[in-house]
Chains A and B, each alone.
Chain A
Amino acid sequence: MRDVSRIWKAFVERPVALEARGITLRYRSSGRGVEGLSLSVGWGEVFGLVGPNGSGKSTLLRVLSTAVEPDSGTFRVGGTDGLREKRKVRARLGLMVDRPTHYGDLSGWANAYFFARLYGVNEAKAEGALSELFEYFDLAAYRDDRVKTYSYGMGKKLALIEALAHGPDVLLLDEPSLGLDYTSQLALQRKIRDLSASGVAVVIASNQVDEVESLCDRVAFLHEGRLVEEGTPEELISSLQGVRRIVATLRNPVEYGSVESVAGVDQVVPEGQDLVVHCEDRPGIVADVVGGIVRAGGDITDLAVRRPSLEDVFVKLTGETLRDED
């Protein structure tokens, strides 16, 4: 009985997986960075950092990965101080940077094995873990090919394998699915859910809102280096009652100024052949938006009115979109 209470006490008192307080880092060259960011991620939680390019996602991950020291603020990984005990923290982290690089003249296997051993994994465990991960991410057939012959997506998968092979407690992933084919994206999502179920804390920096919405337990929005909102995807989206998103597919690009001037339209963003209109949910607004597009000379080939997403939440909060900055 005493053992049970001791284990329960240890479980209850276990420090959170990742805790950051007041992280500030400004790049001297550009003046950009992050300002006073605080967040807390629990064991087994998948936490999303969402924001447009330049919002500070990668900068925050640089700090949390111990690559750079912040100007001020502190963070802990599983209770270990990330500024004072960097090597201990590094051993507990799995890291995939936004632009992964490898030794091009070594094979994929040699690269992954090298990193696994640098993380202190012994030979037998490294070979076992890597065999499983190469199979899982469909890279087994290419394991002995030189990395310089890999496609971008294969390089990304290799970086994921390197991040996972040593069995990290906390996983930091920067744009993990960018460049991955659909099957690999699904495999990655399945792996993240499995890891989360086994107690691994996962932080994903991304502006792929569909992925964040389906994977993350909690989401934080970053804008110009500051945290503007935080909550579960459901909470955030449900705060947007009365907002709609109209997606019009056009045959030809148009000047969309006349759409922006329609009453109730918050933001208009061109995405490929689509014109995405974030607007209020009022009677007649779809007809008004269509009228605006037609007046601008647009030839609509498809039209959809969608429920609000995390992107709409961001637009509502900041007046900007996730994808057109920079």
Chain B
Amino acid sequence: MRINPPDAYWKKDVALFFGRRFALLIKMIYPMAIIVPVAASGIPAEYAAAVIGIVAVMAGTFGAGESLTIDLNDGILVRVALTPTSPRRIVFEVLAVNAVLDFVQLLPALVIVYVLHPVSMMWVLAATFAVFATLVTANAIGIFIANFTSSPADVLLYATAILFPLIYISGFFRNRHPEGILAFLRNFVPFAYMNDALKAVFGLAVKAVPVEIFVYPAVICSVLVFAVCMTAPRLLSPRL
């Protein structure tokens, strides 16, 4: 399969990702630089899981949101949208390729975590899937935000406003044993399932079983992806 010259939107993003070598080096190194020391240190397991979770959430949200707003400002995305390609397909490809590329960045660091903290293969797969589901969710949030602003700086601001409550509900740092409405809401946030899986990887006992980590985030992500793709006509129209 030939990536460059690209014949699809996702191939264009892959070609650009691997074409900027210095940026690629930084993107591959920074998750390792944060996650590996945390995994190798003796800090409490819940904090180690939380740090990895935060890296995944931030990488996903800012990645898609910023690159989308830059392309929107540039006018190139509107030009792409004026081809006969379906706008929903373009947005789906933006979301999918960004999530996969973010995942490629995080995977080496995750592998080192699994080497340093051996755990059953089921939990390794569950944690890996949960991280990917988090990246899909975070990218969906980034794309959703790009509907309302064409400024990369605003993406940071809006993302913070959306992510903080979700991180709180997921119980990364506070609210670890939610009750009532908070416990109910936690079921709908894929970050929470990733947090549970990573805690299990670091040796903590968790309520969730691996199959829940596969099923619920998959369902939630499917709904989010569908919803974000429905915003495509608005997202890809000129900002006048």
Contact = CB atoms under 8 A, between A and B. Distances in A.
Nearest to B86: A87
Contacts, number: 74
Interface in B203-240: 237-238, 240
Contact of A106 (B16, B74, B78, B84): B16
B75 A101 contact: yes
Nearest to A110: B5
A27 B6 CA distance: 36
29 contacts: A29-B240, A65-B82, A67-B81, A67-B82, A68-B237, A88-B84, A90-B83, A90-B84, A95-B79, A97-B79, A99-B75, A100-B79, A101-B74, A103-B12, A105-B16, A105-B20, A106-B16, A106-B19, A107-B5, A109-B5, A110-B4, A110-B6, A114-B5, A115-B80, A115-B83, A118-B8, A118-B83, A119-B84, A123-B7
A314 B8 CA distance: 45
Interface residues of A, number: 32
A191 interface: no
Interface of B: 4-9, 12, 15-16, 19-20, 74-76, 78-86, 237-238, 240
B234 to A, nearest CB: 12
Nearest to B90: A118
B84 A120 contact: yes
A114 B6 contact: yes
Nearest to A159: B79
Interface of A: 27, 29, 62, 65-68, 87-88, 90-91, 93, 95, 97, 99-103, 105-107, 109-110, 113-115, 117-120, 123
A30 B38 CA distance: 53
Contacts of B82: 65-67, 90, 93, 95
Given A106-B19, A114-B6, A27 B85 contact: no
Nearest to A98: B75
